[in-house]
Structure 1
Amino acid sequence: MLNYNGELLAFNEVKITPNNRAFNYGDSIFETIKILNGKVVFWEDHYFRLMASMRMLRMKIPIEFTLEFLEKEIVKTIESLEQKNNLRARLTIFRKDGGFYTPNSNEVDYLIEVKEIKSQLKDSYSLDLYKDFYVNSGYLSTVKSNNKLINTLASIYANENDLDNCILLNERKGVVEVTNANIFLIKDDVVKTPSLEEGCLRGIMRKKVIEMLSKNEEFTLEETSITPFEIQKADEVFITNSILGIQPVTNYRKKVFKTDISMKLQASLKIMEITGK
């Protein structure tokens, strides 16, 4: 079942017209949200990122789009399914039909889709650079929009080269993220992750890991620019997203990484997901 503007519909009942702006112009944003035991994980963080993105893209936020309203719509969609555990919800917001580059309206529609989580953490995880195209640095790239061509091409490249993922670079050749997650590296007692100015997604798991590390006196956290050379020299590398949580990276080209600290952070994050704290 899909939730289209509050109405539960079968897949073949949802009518997307040729004038749909998400289809024609990528004029849309989305949130990918983990569901554990029927609970929407870190919903408040997702909600405020969604609202900030809508404001940045000059979408008109409906008065009913409260924290409680959208959570109820997600839960309503979950309850229409037989399987209610270990799920992922995708909430997509797109401007209403009409117009060319200039929309006829800034009002929005929404679509909620819920599926079973099939991706799992891996014991072995390999990365390499994707250098055919670059992510633009700057804050527009931090928005979780439907325009994901570079991520798609890099994912195809990874698949063709027997990699688990690829590192995306910006026009300055700085590390940005991987195709579906933020990236962190550990060297001695310093943990680095690309700053938002580099063009990385304003990830929810990125935010949670930064919060964890900021309270840990063993490490110094730096949101900064990172070169590919620094990845080669790192002790550990891990990636983060809302579905996987923390995935340790084991291989980058000929480099083999340790995973001790990454695994400890992974365990701490799982407790946060369950307790919400």
Structure 2
Amino acid sequence: MKAIFNSRIIDTSKPLILTSNRAFCYGDGLFETIVTGPDRIDLIDWHLERLLRASAVYGMKAPEVLTPNYVRDSIEQLCKENAVKGTTRTKLIVWRNEGGLYAPEQNSCSFLLECKPSHKPFFEGLGTIGLSQTITTRHTLYSFAKRTNAIDYVLAGKERAENEWDEIVLLSTEGHLAEASMANLFWVTNGELFTPSLDTGCIEGIMRRAVLEKAEKADMVVNEVKANPEVLPTAQCIFTTNASGIRYYSHFMNSTQRKENPLAFLKPILTQLLRP
């Protein structure tokens, strides 16, 4: 497979980084997962906006070449190089260049952009979503961003797999619903849409932002809240969002009560997120 490293085409089968790489040594980097395709609206501008905002918080000087148009052209180029068609999953990683220990010696960055085909449907129903007993989130200056240090999500994913759940919900250190291990969390109660506040330390997901914006345009009641997990068993439906799309769940924990399919509720949003 071909990828783009610092604006040049490389072969991913060959070694790329040194052992002194700061993303490898310290998690000193950021990334964006961008899903594009003929049936989806283009959210690349929002992805780059979040990446640049996070780079400023990290004190990193993001490569100036990383503009929305450059990323679009690069995705098109890599899709041709790798014969990728249809929906494409792009990973854009930015990390601070080598030098220093915890205190970096420079703030310039390198980047890697790679594309792979994505076969996940935009809207999909799954089984059980559980509740983590071990991992929590906390609000920081950078909690809105996607960081290369993702050990909390790795451990949450391990807990999810051990319980044979399809997804797992994380609470904040204050005990409020925050997010899922791979996505942002939403639920519907009494015909109103709810999602955790960014103050819980959840990632400021791009699809989360899109869903909230499209819901408000559709005159839906939207609530960004600090809520206790007790609201989920009585919710009409529970779903999560990430770059791939929307996943809804039939059960919460071990409850036998089946949740609703949110398709009818989300239809005004889906018509805005998917190209006709």
TM-score under structure 1 length normalisation: 0.91
> Is the alpha carbon distance of 1:40 and 1:107 closer, same or farther for their aligned partners in structure 2, counting shifts above 3 Å?
farther
SS in 1 for 2:126: coil
Change (3 A) 1:232 1:40: closer
Change (3 A) 1:126 1:239: same
State the 1:148 CA deviation: 1.2
Matches within 5 A, 1:63-78: 63-78=64-79
Say if 2:184 and 2:241, in contact at 8 Å, map to a contact too. yes
The code of the aligned residue for 1:213 comes to: A
Q: Secondary structure at the match of 1:45?
A: helix
CA contact (8 A) 2:184 2:240 kept: yes
1:90 matched to 2:94? The reply is no
Give structure 1 stretches of 5+ with no counterpart. Answer: none
Query: CA deviation digits over 1:166-193, x for unaligned, max 9?
Result: 0011111111100110011111032110
The whole-number CA distance in structure 2 between the counterparts of 1:236 and 1:130 is 19
Partner of 1:107: 108
Matches within 5 A, 1:170-185: 170-185=172-187
Query: Would you say how many aligned residue pairs link Structure 1 and Structure 2?
Result: 272
Which piece of structure 1 moves more, 33-42 or 110-119?
33-42
Contact 1:60 1:107 in 2 (8 A): yes
Whole-angstrom CA distance in 2 between matches of 1:146 and 1:172: 25
- 1:142-181 equivalences under 5 Å are 142-181=144-183
Moved over 6 A (4+): none
C-alpha RMSD of the superposition: 2.1
Q: Is the 8 A contact 1:38 1:78 kept in 2?
A: no
Match of 2:142 in 1: 140
Within 1, Cα distance between the matches of 2:41 and 2:185? 24
Instruction: Please tell me whether the aligned partners of residues 37 and 84 of structure 1 are also in contact (alpha carbons under 8 angstroms).
Output: no
Deviation at 1:122, TM superposition (A): 4.1
2:259 to 254, 257, 275: 257
| 1:126–1:163 Cα contact (<8 Å) kept | yes
Deviation at 1:159, TM superposition (A): 1.3
Q: Which runs of 5+ in 2 are unaligned?
A: none
Please state how far the C-alpha of 1:66 moved relative to its aligned partner: 2.7
CA distance in 1, matches of 2:141, 2:212: 19
Q: Is the 8 A contact 2:41 2:275 kept in 1?
A: no
For the residues of structure 2 that align with 1:73 and 1:172, how far apart are their CA atoms? Answer: 42
Which whole-Å deviations, capped at 9, do the CAs of 1:130-151 have from their partners, x for residues lacking one?
1212111244211111111111
TM-score (norm 2): 0.91
CA distance, structure 1, for counterparts of residue 41 and residue 218 of structure 2? 27
- Does the aligned pair in 2 maintain the 1:38–1:84 contact within 8 Å? no
1:246 correspondence with 2:246: yes
Alignment of 1:218-257 (within 5 A): 219-243=220-244, 245-253=245-253, 254=255, 255-257=257-259
Identity fraction in percent: 26
